Structure 1
Amino acid sequence: MAKSKTRKKAATDNPAGMLDNALGQIEQAFGPGSIMKLADNSKLEVEGIGTGALSLDLALGGKGMPRGRIVELYGPESSGKTTLALHVIANAQKSNGIAAFIDAEHALDPSWAKKLGVNLEEL
């Protein structure tokens, strides 16, 4: 019994050290910038994927959608979400990227996607 109490106490003696250890393990496994403390003011350069609309790319920081991130497009029906997503997917595929499309509105038209340059075999 005394040993288990000692272990529990030792595990919680240095919570800051435990947090730093966990952050280090996550960053080692998933790469720099995958996790950070909110107070850290470090900037991570993230590549972008063009949207096909220069004004939107500029509004998003000049690079378009961030590469390697999950992006949700939200808006009313028929506002261009699917078309925007397909343009970004086509641009990602042109630079040997991989993309996934989750069609919550069941609005994906494969022939339209193909016309916009999406490789359906890779989607």
Structure 2
Amino acid sequence: DAISTGSLGLDLALGIGGVPKGRIIEIYGPESSGKTTLSLHIIAECQKNGGVCAFIDAEHALDVHYAKRLGVDTENLLVSQPDTGEQALEILETITRSGGIDLVVVDSVAALTPKAEIDGDMGDQ
């Protein structure tokens, strides 16, 4: 089973009609290459099919107006903006254990900064 990316060409290239459900996938690429845009398209497609989606905005950069223009139902998108990597992972664990979410996007893994680094404690031990 798959969730469409919103792009027929990409869905066909992926071989299963989109990104696989029930799996962890990583969308990788250089800065400003469209990773968040692709993720938002996938959220929109999931929502169109009745899915419940969450967006963990570790970068604190989600543009809700842009997401709406891409078709995301922002009123029904669960958005979290954690302050630390640990907090993001706690939220992710709670969301996944609930069983009520069909798709979780973490944007981005690179922004999951450990609390010790934020507090300036790295290397002080």
- Per the TM superposition, whether the score is higher than 0.5 is yes
Conserved? CA contact 1:82–1:107, under 8 Å: no
TM-score, length-scaled by structure 1? 0.56
Query: Is 2:67 aligned against 1:113?
Result: yes
> Which segments of 5 or more consecutive residues in structure 2 lack a partner in the other structure?
78-125
Counterpart position of 2:23: 69
Aligned residues of 1:51 and 1:57 also touching (Cα < 8 A): yes
* Length, aligned pairs only: 77
TM superposition shift of 1:120: 1.3
Q: Highest CA radius of gyration, 1 or 2?
A: 1
Quick one: which amino acid aligns to residue 117 of structure 1?
A: G
Corresponding position of 2:47: 93
Task: Identify the structure with the greater helix proportion.
Answer: 1
Q: Identity percentage over the alignment?
A: 66
Equivalent of 1:60, from 3, 14, 19? 14
Cα separation, 2, equivalents of 1:106 and 1:62: 32
Which structure exhibits the higher relative contact order, with contacts defined as CA atoms closer than 8 Å and separated by 6 or more residues? Answer: 2
Judging by fraction of residues, say which structure has more strand.
Answer: 2
- Given that residues 90 and 118 in structure 1 are in contact (C-alpha distance below 8 angstroms), is that contact kept between their aligned partners in structure 2? yes
Q: Where do 5+ consecutive residues of structure 1 fail to align?
A: 1-46
Using the size of structure 2 for normalisation, the TM-score is 0.55
